[in-house]
Chains A and B, each alone.
Chain A
């Protein structure tokens, strides 16, 4: 047994760190670490830098633009990005639909869509949830009806993250009502630049606008944009959920946020001393750090099992569940750290380059909105209740 990465991996880690030091634009890094709003252009700029280096889609097969890295190297890369304050690569093209396309797509789909993801030509979004189909995703009602060499799609998708910036949506649609509800679902690639697609922003409790409702009225999808076989979409959707495990726990980013918490606490006063010296606060941070460490080494244990050839299974449910609980806890402590000055609501302060005097401590403005925003993490990607269902079923056999 050994807790340390080998020299070879540590050298790789240094390479990644060096690259991030030199290439991550300072304004983007600052937005991420201070919790400010990122614009479409920020993501595109950063993803173009990664793409130029050949590091945008490390997990893909080499022939489609992957790096050929081992699972350990991919893990290190994700953690270093989180630590450095790089934005998460938008996953919809790179981690979600890309692997579905190179695994189940036609040659034409591979040749057309994969290079466009690599070049950041398309912005993808995910058309899964519907107003009546949340955790019970398979009950979705958006219909696609075959009409010659195209499908006509009608229905509504919701909680569609970043759809306001997207030109493409991968979409689960109902193509049959026969048999079990999972058996009548197909996986379509929808061009959003057409009249029947209407994207309506949904304002969230933090005052942000990152999610949307997407109405589709007689939207046309050529049959060449059906992935795999008709009525087999559920299989591809499940593959997508389990495909890439690394990064699920978000350890690197959480570690960076704990450092931010300590920095803020070193400047805030409480009971006549700095908050960082308050025993009760220290105890709460200690508890958080221990939770984070337990998750980190559980993540690493699973990583090494993957390396040994055991395919990722329901472990990713544990990582998602604990990872998001910890993220929420951090956001809670960050907000509490500034006391009263979590209260002023100053949306302009969330924009980079806002240069008026802050109300209260520097950096306080985004903390309450971030706390509100992080509540989403235990809801998205399969609620944490669904993750517990998965553990009970897949691991415990209940």
Chain B
């Protein structure tokens, strides 16, 4: 039993925290979200130089050889800074899919490019009718000579516009809600027949709707086993949830301390509003919510390597429920306790609240995961 970071992990955390503190003030971040691409290529380069893009990748691909805890440290920093670069899409989703399912050739070609910052990735798994069911895939991949032809649509694909490669789930067999028959493909971001509709998301990040009209890929574009992509998708979804949990913990940490500070300085009725018991009790509940969220983030992170997939998924779902619950309380009440100021775009509070709101939806909201958890025997 140990909840402390190792010395190396602590160093990683210190360097992320320093970057966020020095390079990521809110006004700078807001300028980035308003820019064409929605983030900074310079920041991305810095992240590569600091080794962060390979924090959880083996040394043979240029990574620093870390694992789930390193990813957690990074994502907590991403949350604390409201970082808008495609770290999650590339280093958590894309890199893990490649690492776990890629052939030697695919890994050797692509992972070093991820680490060096030359290749961004995106994961196109969601479809409109599927809501949060990862197995609900209508998009098809039909045999076409040696390769496949992809047809269908994917929705709300985070950072698709900047991705050099997009990893896509498609049906090579079975019906649209069968667990079997799903295959993953690596598709070029500018493949012929692939069209994108790009848009900003409510939290200031970027996403796209993708349409595939006879997009042709070779047999070497298959990632992992044909027809058996779902276990891989589920594994990476659990990793994604652990990462999002850490990001949410970072966000909530800032909200809790900023709000607490505000309560000590904002004065009404002749005293700081933090002196009112009704507000103290709400803050105590918010503190508890943050503590419980952090505990469940740790559990989800450390269960990622559990050989028993059910234990891993149960922990991820439990964490997602807890994060959703905690984030809603902390987010909503941080706005409330800041009064009118909490409603302004100028203050950081609303931006953390919006990111937390999006995190609840990503990879299944509280309701979805409560149902999933309840279905385990």
**Chain A residues at the B interface, C-beta cutoff of 8 Å:** 1-6, 9, 72, 279, 282-283, 285-287, 289-290, 293-295, 297-298, 300-301, 303-304, 308, 318, 321-322, 385, 387-389, 391-393, 395-398
| 20 extra interface residue pairs, beta carbon distance < 8 Å, beyond A6-B1, A290-B322, A392-B280 | A1-B4, A2-B302, A3-B303, A72-B1, A279-B371, A289-B318, A293-B318, A294-B295, A297-B298, A304-B3, A385-B281, A389-B280, A389-B284, A391-B288, A392-B281, A395-B287, A396-B260, A398-B260, A398-B263, A398-B283
Q: How far does the Cβ of B218 sit from chain A's closest Cβ, in whole Å?
A: 41
| Chain A CB within 8 A of B42 CB | no
Q: How far is the CA of A290 from the CA of B315 in the complex (A)?
A: 9
> A290-B321, A297-B296, A398-B275 are contacts. A392–B284 as well, Cβ < 8 Å?
yes
Interface residues of B in 253-284 (CB under 8 A from A): 260, 263-264, 274-275, 277, 279-281, 283-284
Residues of B close to A308: CB separation below 8 A = 4
Residues of B close to A295: CB separation below 8 A = 292
Q: In the complex the two chains form, is A1's CB within 8 Å of B322's CB?
A: no
Q: How far is the CA of A198 from the CA of B303 in the complex (A)?
A: 57
**9 examples of A-B residue contacts, CB within 8 angstroms:** A286-B373, A289-B373, A304-B2, A387-B284, A388-B284, A392-B280, A396-B283, A396-B287, A397-B260
Q: How far is the CA of A398 from the CA of B295 in the complex (A)?
A: 24
Residues of A close to B292: CB separation below 8 A = 294-295, 298, 322
| Chain A CB within 8 A of B374 CB | yes
Q: How far does the Cβ of A185 sit from chain B's closest Cβ, in whole Å?
A: 24
| Chain A CB within 8 A of B161 CB | no
| Chain A CB within 8 A of B180 CB | no
| Chain A CB within 8 A of B69 CB | yes
Q: In the complex the two chains form, is B288's CB within 8 Å of A297's CB?
A: no
Q: In the complex the two chains form, is B374's CB within 8 Å of A3's CB?
A: no
Q: In the complex the two chains form, is A2's CB within 8 Å of B1's CB?
A: yes
Q: In the complex the two chains form, is A321's CB within 8 Å of B1's CB?
A: no
Q: In the complex the two chains form, is A322's CB within 8 Å of B284's CB?
A: no
Q: In the complex the two chains form, is B370's CB within 8 Å of A286's CB?
A: yes
**Chain B residues at the A interface, C-beta cutoff of 8 Å:** 1-5, 69, 260, 263-264, 274-275, 277, 279-281, 283-285, 287-288, 291-296, 298-299, 301-303, 318, 321-322, 370-371, 373-375
Q: In the complex the two chains form, is B374's CB within 8 Å of A388's CB?
A: no
Residues of B close to A72: CB separation below 8 A = 1
Residues of B close to A303: CB separation below 8 A = 1
Q: How far is the CA of A286 from the CA of B370 in the complex (A)?
A: 7
Could you say which of A286, A304, A385 has the most chain B C-beta atoms within 10 Å of its C-beta?
A: A286
Q: In the complex the two chains form, is B284's CB within 8 Å of A3's CB?
A: no
Residue of A nearest to B275 (CB): A398
Residue of B nearest to A276 (CB): B377
> A285-B374, A297-B295 are contacts. A5–B1 as well, Cβ < 8 Å?
yes
Q: How far is the CA of A378 from the CA of B269 in the complex (A)?
A: 32
Residue of A nearest to B372 (CB): A286
Residues of B close to A6: CB separation below 8 A = 1
> A72-B1, A293-B318, A295-B292 are contacts. A388–B299 as well, Cβ < 8 Å?
no
Q: In the complex the two chains form, is A294's CB within 8 Å of B322's CB?
A: yes
Q: How far does the Cβ of B328 sit from chain A's closest Cβ, in whole Å?
A: 14
Residues of A close to B293: CB separation below 8 A = 294
Residues of A close to B370: CB separation below 8 A = 283, 286-287, 290
Top 5 A-B residue pairs of the complex, sorted by shortest distance between their CB atoms: A392-B280, A286-B374, A297-B295, A388-B284, A294-B292
Q: How far does the Cβ of B120 sit from chain A's closest Cβ, in whole Å?
A: 29
Residues of A close to B280: CB separation below 8 A = 388-389, 392-393, 396, 398
Residues of B close to A287: CB separation below 8 A = 321, 370
Q: How far does the Cβ of B329 sit from chain A's closest Cβ, in whole Å?
A: 13
Q: How far is the CA of A387 from the CA of B287 in the complex (A)?
A: 12
Q: How far is the CA of A388 from the CA of B69 in the complex (A)?
A: 32
Q: In the complex the two chains form, is A1's CB within 8 Å of B302's CB?
A: yes
Q: In the complex the two chains form, is B1's CB within 8 Å of A4's CB?
A: yes
Residue of B nearest to A303 (CB): B1
Q: How far does the Cβ of A44 sit from chain B's closest Cβ, in whole Å?
A: 35
Residues of B close to A398: CB separation below 8 A = 260, 263-264, 274-275, 279-280, 283
> A2-B302, A304-B3, A398-B275 are contacts. A318–B295 as well, Cβ < 8 Å?
no
Q: How far is the CA of A308 from the CA of B370 in the complex (A)?
A: 35
> A1-B2, A290-B318, A298-B295 are contacts. A322–B288 as well, Cβ < 8 Å?
yes
Residue of B nearest to A395 (CB): B287
Q: How far is the CA of A322 from the CA of B290 in the complex (A)?
A: 13
Q: In the complex the two chains form, is A3's CB within 8 Å of B318's CB?
A: no
Q: How far is the CA of A5 from the CA of B296 in the complex (A)?
A: 17
> A290-B373, A297-B298, A388-B285 are contacts. A1–B3 as well, Cβ < 8 Å?
yes
> A283-B371, A391-B287 are contacts. A293–B298 as well, Cβ < 8 Å?
no
Q: In the complex the two chains form, is A297's CB within 8 Å of B321's CB?
A: no
Q: How far is the CA of A267 from the CA of B37 in the complex (A)?
A: 59
- Residue of B277, B281, B302 touching A3 (CB-CB under 8 A): B302
Q: How far does the Cβ of A359 sit from chain B's closest Cβ, in whole Å?
A: 31
Q: How far does the Cβ of A361 sit from chain B's closest Cβ, in whole Å?
A: 23
Q: How far is the CA of A300 from the CA of B5 in the complex (A)?
A: 16
Q: In the complex the two chains form, is B2's CB within 8 Å of A2's CB?
A: yes
Q: How far is the CA of A388 from the CA of B3 in the complex (A)?
A: 25
Q: How far is the CA of A279 from the CA of B263 in the complex (A)?
A: 42
Residue of A nearest to B69 (CB): A1
Q: In the complex the two chains form, is A300's CB within 8 Å of B1's CB?
A: yes
Q: How far is the CA of A1 from the CA of B263 in the complex (A)?
A: 34
Residue of B nearest to A302 (CB): B291
Residue of B nearest to A280 (CB): B374
Q: How far does the Cβ of B81 sit from chain A's closest Cβ, in whole Å?
A: 22
- Residue of A5, A301, A392 touching B283 (CB-CB under 8 A): A392
Q: How far is the CA of A190 from the CA of B318 in the complex (A)?
A: 50
Q: How far does the Cβ of B246 sit from chain A's closest Cβ, in whole Å?
A: 12
Q: In the complex the two chains form, is B291's CB within 8 Å of A298's CB?
A: yes
- Residue of B1, B288, B318 touching A318 (CB-CB under 8 A): B288
Q: In the complex the two chains form, is B295's CB within 8 Å of A301's CB?
A: yes
Residues of B close to A393: CB separation below 8 A = 280
Could you say which of A297, A388, A393 has the most chain B C-beta atoms within 10 Å of its C-beta?
A: A297
Q: In the complex the two chains form, is A293's CB within 8 Å of B299's CB?
A: yes
Q: How far is the CA of A195 from the CA of B294 in the complex (A)?
A: 55
Residues of B close to A285: CB separation below 8 A = 374
Residues of A close to B322: CB separation below 8 A = 290, 294
Residues of A close to B299: CB separation below 8 A = 3, 293, 297
Q: In the complex the two chains form, is B374's CB within 8 Å of A1's CB?
A: no
Q: How far is the CA of A200 from the CA of B318 in the complex (A)?
A: 47
Residue of A nearest to B303 (CB): A3
Q: How far is the CA of A301 from the CA of B1 in the complex (A)?
A: 9
Residues of A close to B284: CB separation below 8 A = 387-389, 391-392, 395-396
Could you say which of A293, A387, A393, A395 has the most chain B C-beta atoms within 10 Å of its C-beta?
A: A293
Q: How far is the CA of A206 from the CA of B24 in the complex (A)?
A: 58
Q: How far does the Cβ of A299 sit from chain B's closest Cβ, in whole Å?
A: 9
> A1-B2, A388-B280, A396-B287 are contacts. A283–B374 as well, Cβ < 8 Å?
yes
> A4-B1, A398-B264 are contacts. A293–B302 as well, Cβ < 8 Å?
no
